Amino acid sequence: MANNNPEKKKGLLTPTEWILLSIISIVILSSPYLLSKDYDLFSLNDEGLARIGTALSITAPFIGILSSVLVYIAFKVQYRANLDIKEQFKQQNDDQLLL
């Protein structure tokens, strides 16, 4: 039986999704440094620790966006798995009808 479903022929992510995920990841990983770059990494006094805490709390929306992208990817993979299972059940029913 030929598989003509275009959803199954694609990879895990489209090139646009890879670019989006990469940009969001770079922003999240670099934002604590960029938001506190006047902070000296080797002096962990109260002011430096406060800047780190502020920088990390500012990144919360970016982390939320990344997590929503990852949930989208998980749902997309689950959808494809459901299509595979549906096709397997259809094939199984066709095989049983032949018997």
* Per-residue model confidence as pLDDT tens digits over 50-71: 766 776 777 788 788 888 888 9
Place of tokens 């998980």: 74
Place of tokens 């990144």: 59
- Which pLDDT belongs to residue 61? 81
**DSSP symbol at 40:** -
Structural contact between residues 3 and 86, judged by C-beta atoms closer than 8 angstroms:
no
pLDDT confidence tier of residue 39, bands split at 50, 70 and 90:
low
Establish if 5 belongs to a structural domain. Answer: no
User: What is the total count of domains within the chain?
Assistant: 1
Structural domain of 25: 14-98
Establish if 3 belongs to a structural domain. Answer: no
Establish if 31 belongs to a structural domain. Answer: yes
Establish if 1 belongs to a structural domain. Answer: no
39 Cβ partners below 8 Å, 6+ apart?
48, 51, 52
* Per-residue model confidence as pLDDT tens digits over 66-85: 888 889 888 988 998 999 99
Establish if 56 belongs to a structural domain. Answer: yes
Q: What are phi and psi of 68, to 5 degrees?
A: -70, -35
